[in-house]
Structure 1
Amino acid sequence: MPGQPGWQRGSGRGAGIIPLRPLSIGEIYDGAIRAIRANPRTMVGWSAVVGAIITVAATIPQLLALNALWGSALSGDALTTEEDAEALSEVFGVFGVTALSTTIQSLLATTIITGLLIVAVGGAVRGEALAPGELWRRAKGRLWAVLGLAVLLLVTATVLIAVCMAPGGVLLWQAVQGDADAEGIFVAFLVLALGGLVGAIVYAALYLGYWALAVPALLLENLGMTAALRRSARLVRGSFWRVFGISLLTAVIAAVIGEIFTVPFSLVGNGVVLALGTTGPASLIVPQLLVTLGTIMAGAVLYPFSAGAVTLLYLDLRMRREGMDVEMLRSEQPR
């Protein structure tokens, strides 16, 4: 609560943003907001700058693809020749590559920014308002490990979902090769879809539950990738549903806030196009540019909030299970 030393932003030892005792979900979210307010220049500034660079880099190929789509497909007549079909397939290929690059760059943005901010939140808990340069000095040596963990989780998700979809894929292949009727093909598609759903649910349980604390464990305890996953699972054991629920709620809050930022920009972009009577590629590019601006603004708020929530959840479990105090946290910070 305000006025209590444990909640103040202080410069002394142990005068952090939260009291070092087990926290409720409300205190975790309040602490995440306090971490942002305690050091906005670093928390929001890093998120805005790094997020803007990566988002703009991801938007450029999208804009090129939109321009190509307009020139190759939308501005012409209906497809009547083999050349038209080939041109359209090339456009969809561009969009496929763009989607892949956007996914990778989004992963980089989330990983790099969250990794940096977890160190900042750890400092805020101890009452340290880290300057941007100091934050970079402390965190840069661990960013490759954080990126490696993100890639490992992405590969794990792909393999897990693929394994769960394999039976449906085999059934579909057999149905197509055996000239099965529509009902047989439908059943194969249903098994395939259910397999993908099961794989996604299992991975979500692992990612939002047992592995939810892997990144703060990796950074704040200087662990390796697999050691961080094991450490997270040990901390979560016995508190799975609480951790899963808080992680899921945090993701939902972030998604809702993200839409609150981006939807108005998209509507404004479409309104500008209609009001000015803009045609050609600009009718696609202008809304995309405004959505990009909204994404950057949303990220400047969402990344610090999410990083604060996961860090405080990690510290909460360590306080519950290990009696963690300020001195223990201080000794484990990357320097």
Structure 2
Amino acid sequence: MSDQGWTAPGAPSGRPEPDPYAGRPGPPPVPGPAPAPAPAAAQPGYPPPQPPPGYPGYPGFAGYPPQQRLGVPPQQTRFVDFRPGIIPLRPLTMNDLVGGVFRAVRGNVAATVGLAALTSLVFLVPFTALGAWVSSTEESVTLEESVADGTAGLVGTLGSMIPSIGSWFSTILLAGFLAYVIGQAVLGRKVSAGETWRGTIPRIWALAGATLLTSLAILLTLAVILGIPVGLLVAGGVGGDDGTVAAGVGLLLLALLLAIPALLLIWTRLAFVTPSVVLENLGVGAAFARSWRLTGSGFWRILGIRLLSSIAISIVGSLITAPLAILAAALTFTGLPLDQVYIWQAVITGATGVVAGAITTPVTAGIDSLLYVDQRIRREGLDVHLVQTAQGTAAPPWPRAAS
């Protein structure tokens, strides 16, 4: 075989060698290592509560329900509640309010029922003793003899009512205690009786002033509405004018119809004075203005919940204190002298006040405090602040007592 035209491999030649891989697809790329995932961005903090336009019902929510802002998928937001404490951080239902109060009481028995019983005893024991002493100055006559004497029983009646003044004073402190306990329980904190005392006692004079002004507002409203009809009745009775008496009776019925909605208005618009004094550290005037503003919307809801809860708790309290009430009424038929009857009635009134103060007052005061929190959630986006507090990114909306 001739070697003409043969070229050794690798030796230069006068013509290019054909590419044996020309026209063929190239080899598949070699898979390299998977790229490392990018580090997750830090979860941004919640925006400050600014009411967005066109999103009624959730002011301050930045257009999203709070559960969705916590990273919960939108399809699950209606089933998830963020609950660091006794209530979910969203607008509250009646079940949330009642359940929250009972959870606060169960979790803080010493600071609620214990302080309520102790406070009631502190105030009612001296007032009951005073009432019994005043009742002892009543004439020692039988019930039949007192009927013939028009003035008999006046001093004893006054003495039997004195323990109710002690109940009124104890209610001032109890409402403050419950406002503090509820405020801390919403944040998921349990408190002792000592801490509750330290957190409430600096506000005692503001609480007393607010309660006194509220009572004066109610009395002044009654005096203005009922003053003219009562004046006509008195004038007609003194002068013997039947027409004046009839006009007075008609005006009195009309005044009573006007007094009921007026009292309900004051009772509802001033419902948040005590929580404002304790939790926001406001003075009396500022607390009145604060309560008036917070109840400006949702008035009928607040009124309905307060009425319903008050009626239900009054029924329960009456069932508990019914044996004492029956005993007090039965004393008039025992044949005891009138002064002894009134002494025992004063003692029974004091005991009833202790029982009612320890059982019913914590519930009614707790309902008002949770309604205050609920109204701030609805109007001011307080739940956003509470979520930030639970996550440690914001200071609590109300302070905690120093140790």
TM-score (norm: length of structure 2): 0.69
1:105 aligns with 2:163: no
Which one is further off, 29-38 or 101-110? 101-110
Matched with 1:187 is: 247
Aligned counterpart, 1:330: 396
CA distance in 1, matches of 2:365, 2:82: 20
Indicate how the Cα distance of structure 1 residues 196 and 64 shifts in structure 2: closer, same or farther if over 3 A, else same: farther
Q: CA deviation at 1:160?
A: 1.1
Give, as a single letter, the amino acid of the residue that structure 2 aligns with 1:134.
E
Distance 2:368 2:116 in 1: 16
Kindly indicate whether the alpha-carbon contact (under 8 Å) linking 2:156 and 2:342 is maintained by their aligned counterparts in 1: no
Q: AA paired with 2:154?
A: F
* Whole-angstrom distance in 1 between the partners of 2:239 and 2:342: 44
Residue 171 of structure 1: CA displacement? 2.6
Equivalent residue number for residue 298 of structure 1: 356
Change (3 A) 1:193 1:70: farther
1:92-140 deviation per Cα after TM superposition (whole angstroms, max 9, x unaligned):
14533653x4453232111111111210111111122111111111111
What count of residue pairs does the alignment treat as equivalent?
313
Aligned mates of 1:190, 1:97 — CA distance in 2:
34
Identify if the C-alpha distance between structure 1 residues 166 and 70 changes in structure 2 by more than 3 Å, giving closer, same or farther: closer
- CA shift for structure 1 position 26: 1.1
SS at match of 2:360: helix
Q: Corresponding residue for 2:379?
A: 321
Is 1:227 aligned with 2:286?
yes
Relative to structure 1, the CA distance from residue 65 to residue 223 in structure 2 (aligned partners, 3 Å threshold; closer, same or farther) is same
Q: Which is helix-richer, 1 or 2? A: 1
Correspondences of 1:273-284 after superposition (within 5 Å): 279-280=336-337
Q: Would the aligned equivalents of 2:309 and 2:364 in 1 still touch at CA under 8 Å?
A: yes
Identity across matched positions, percent: 27
Indicate how the Cα distance of structure 1 residues 190 and 94 shifts in structure 2: closer, same or farther if over 3 A, else same: farther
2:157 counterpart residue number: 95
Task: Give 1:145-164 correspondences, 5 Å limit.
Answer: 145-164=206-225
* Aligned-partner SS, 1:330: coil
User: Residue deviations 1:29-72, cap 9 Å, x none?
Assistant: 11001000011111110000101222233322333344444614
Displacement of 1:5 in angstroms is: 8.6
SS in 2 for 1:118: helix
> For 1:164-214, what per-residue CA distance to the aligned partner results, in whole angstroms no more than 9, with x for missing partners?
122213433443455312x5413313313532452343022221x211112
Larger Rg over CA atoms: 2
Query: Does structure 1 residue 116 correspond to structure 2 residue 185?
Result: no
Most deviating of 166-175 and 36-45: 166-175
Match of 1:201 among 245, 250, 261: 261
Conserved in 2, the CA contact under 8 Å of 1:161 and 1:195? no
Distance 1:76 1:23 in 2: 58
Counterpart amino acid of residue 222 in structure 1: N
Partner of residue 63, structure 1:
132
Relative to structure 1, is the Cα distance of residues 146 and 329 closer, same or farther in structure 2, using a 3 angstrom cutoff?
A: farther
Match of 1:10 in 2: none
Which shifted more, 234-243 or 192-201?
Answer: 192-201
User: Unmatched 5+ residue regions in structure 2?
Assistant: 1-79
- The one-letter amino acid of 1:307's match is A
Does 2:367 align with 1:309? yes
TM-score by length of 1: 0.81
Residue 18 of structure 1 corresponds to 87
**How much does 1:157 deviate?**
1.0
The amino acid that maps onto 2:354 is: I
- Structure 2 CA distance for aligned equivalents of residues 78 and 134 of structure 1: 54
Q: CA deviation at 1:73?
A: 5.3
- CA–CA distance in structure 1, aligned partners of residues 145 and 325 of structure 2: 26
The equivalences for 1:160-179 within 5 A come to 160-176=221-237, 178-179=239-240
Q: Which shows bigger deviation, 192-201 or 146-155?
A: 192-201
Query: Who is 2:271 aligned against?
Result: 212
* 1:43 is the counterpart of 2:122: no
1:297–1:321 distance in 2 versus 1, CA, 3 Å: same
Are the counterparts in 2 of residues 220 and 332 from structure 1 also a CA contact under 8 Å? yes
